[in-house]
Chain A
Amino acid sequence: MITVIAIDALEYTLVEEFNMRNLKQDYYGRTDISEFSEPRTMVLWSSFMTGENREAEILAKGDKEMWNTRIPHEETFFSHFKNPFVLDLPGYNYDLEQHRRERELLKEFFEEKDEERKREVRRKYNENAFAHHRRVKERFFEALEGDYDFVLGYFSVADVIGHLNFGNRSLMKMIYRDLDDIVSRVEGKKIVLSDHGMKAVGAFGDHSDYGFWSTNFRDLGRPRITDFKRIVLQEALGE
């Protein structure tokens, strides 16, 4: 059994700075996403699960429709497993309504001019993201007890909260500590992987142009996100 802990916007430099030992595992580094024009979440996870650069195809859908992408199971490497469990992954089976609500609140935040109401929108935005994170965590730990030959849990909290709160180091450290704890509770071979990292724009967060990876089984060097199909299948099934 191999488990992938897919963490949106997990930033290499913060993992180092906060010294998150479980997120780092035995081997860790940055991924190379330089082949993509922008570090877009939907493009990167779709490319990860298929092992191919899907940028042109996803961007052709347009900014709105892009978020509704559902790559067919047969086109993903998950189909190589007999009984895989994939939780909330963009481009495959993520909760469309939840993520639509996040983007809606983000828009509301930037459209609001009054400082007090702006803070209130951010509070609602954060609450919504943390409530979703708690639900995902619960389902992920249930899945680890199940009879699956592959488990992937996708955690969006560092990305969603980071966009409006990246300047709040205490809050970000709390999130990283929580993610570190999640990884510590997973047994067996595991990969921690992010699509991209995050860099500060004042109090806000923008995507950085590299991702993060770590494993407890071997050094991967500087892999591309599309290499993980091969890595997972090799490690789990010897393919």
Chain B
Amino acid sequence: MAEKKGKKKSKYTTVSIPTPLYKKIKKRIEETGFTSVSDYVTYVLREVLASLEEEEKEEAFTEEEEEKVKERLRALGYLD
């Protein structure tokens, strides 16, 4: 099979984290199945993003709540 010419695009990239945090994670993964700090950080970030996305989806509000907050925002001068 012919190989593609040129630089192969990596699936990974580098991010910086504070050294004390790195050390803290390194210590923590000793009690887990994670084999590297990168794997642990990837896991935590995926969890955080999923939780943010989940909460965005769940943010349904009733008409009554919307009316109530509109009224308050008017009283505070934010809305005409």
Chain A: residues with CB nearer than 8 A to chain B?
38-42, 63-64, 66-67, 103, 106-107, 110, 163, 165, 167-171, 174, 201-207
Contacts and interface: CB of A to CB of B under 8 A. Distances in A.
A41 B80 contact: no
Contacts of B17: none
A64 B80 contact: yes
Contacts of B76: 38-41, 207
Contact of A170 (B52, B60, B75): B52
B79 A110 contact: yes
Given A201-B68, A202-B62, A204-B61, A106 B79 contact: yes
A169 to B, nearest CB: 7
B44 interface: no
Contacts of B56: 168, 171
> What is the interface residue range for chain B against chain A?
20 to 34
A188 to B, nearest CB: 22
Interface of B: 48, 51-52, 55-56, 59-62, 65-66, 68-70, 72-73, 75-80
A139 B22 CA distance: 28
Given A63-B77, A106-B78, A206 B48 contact: no
Given A41-B76, A67-B77, A206-B72, A110 B66 contact: yes
A42 B60 contact: no
Nearest to B70: A110
A203 B61 contact: yes
A66 B79 CA distance: 12
B59 A203 contact: yes
A50 to B, nearest CB: 19
A202 B80 contact: no
B36 to A, nearest CB: 25
A97 to B, nearest CB: 16
